[in-house]
Amino acid sequence: MRRFLTALLVVLTLACPSAGWHSEGHLVITRLALTSLPEDVPAFFREATQAIAEGSVDPDLFKNRGIPHLTSAEAPEHYFHVEALPGLALPATRSEWLAYCQEHGIEVRDAGMLPYAIMEHTERLTIAFAEHRRRPDAETVRQRAIVYAGLLAHYTADLGMPLHCTEHYNGRKQPAGRSPRSGIHARVDALAGKVPGALLTADPLEAPFAAQNLPLALLRELRLSHRRVDWAYKLEAKFPGVGDRALDDPEVVRFSVDCVRHSAHVTASMYLTAWRNSETIRLPRWLEGSIPSQ
């Protein structure tokens, strides 16, 4: 904490500007996550910083009017309204969540699918790691792991941004159920790319965890992120515009650092979960005979 405060003082004194685009935030979070992985995670993975970070931007590209079928399915993957589950456990699978929504009259497109995107991409990476354990020299397997990791990183980063975890995602929800579209969402999304790197690394990132129960672990992290919703609205008037490049308010800086570090922690934890779980995966026998040796 002392190092963070020292770095904060230096940054604010120098009024150092930094990049402020949404894609830049995903790059920053993914790179930070990879620095915190333990050494038992394969070196090829820990060293693929640029490739994984660039891949973390792709899910936003999947939301495009030119690809309506993918866009329709992709949009709800990026958010989850914690208010839809007051005091309840998170349904374990996507199909169970869909059944819950139907039973309670919840529009899935409104409530979102974020934790299921994270679970499923974590398990895709788990399979790639299991293949890597079987064929550690196969470059194609390594490439698949890197692609899956980039996609996964996007959703874990979204979890750490509080307005991706609430029905009050762009202004406080109105009694009629509509969003006032105040513009706060875009300004919060842009914060991650504006945080000076010295603040993000002033203190060591919390060690990642290997989740024993993905739904339980992700619900805990969703609720931690959701606790920052009120904090975000208290700071709303202080948030810089999307195109403003500098953060000059200490509390906004602290909020931004908190969100980015949480996102990076969850990302690293899902990477570690995938690696540790891959050790017990039994791949089918047909796989070995169907892939030519390299």
Show the low-confidence residues of the chain (pLDDT under 50).
Answer: 2, 4-21
Q: How far is CA 53 from the centre of its chain?
A: 12
Calpha distance 289→293 (Å, rounded): 9
Query: Could you give the maximum distance between any two Cα atoms of the chain, in Å?
Result: 62
pLDDT tens per residue across span 225-240: 999 999 999 999 999 9
Distances in whole angstroms, Cα of residue 76 to Cα of each of 110, 114, 285? 8, 7, 36
pLDDT at 22: 66
Please identify which residue in the block is written with the tokens 């513009």: 183
The pTM for the full model equals 0.90
pLDDT at 289: 60
pLDDT at 179: 80
Domains in the chain, CATH or no CATH each: 22-282 (1.10.575.10)
Give the burial class of 79: count Cβ atoms within 10 A of its Cβ; 0-12 exposed, 13-18 middle, 19 or more buried.
buried
Enumerate helices (H) and strands (E) in the chain, giving the number of each.
Answer: 16, 0
pLDDT at 13: 34
Distances in whole angstroms, Cα of residue 174 to Cα of each of 167, 177, 179, 204? 10, 5, 6, 40
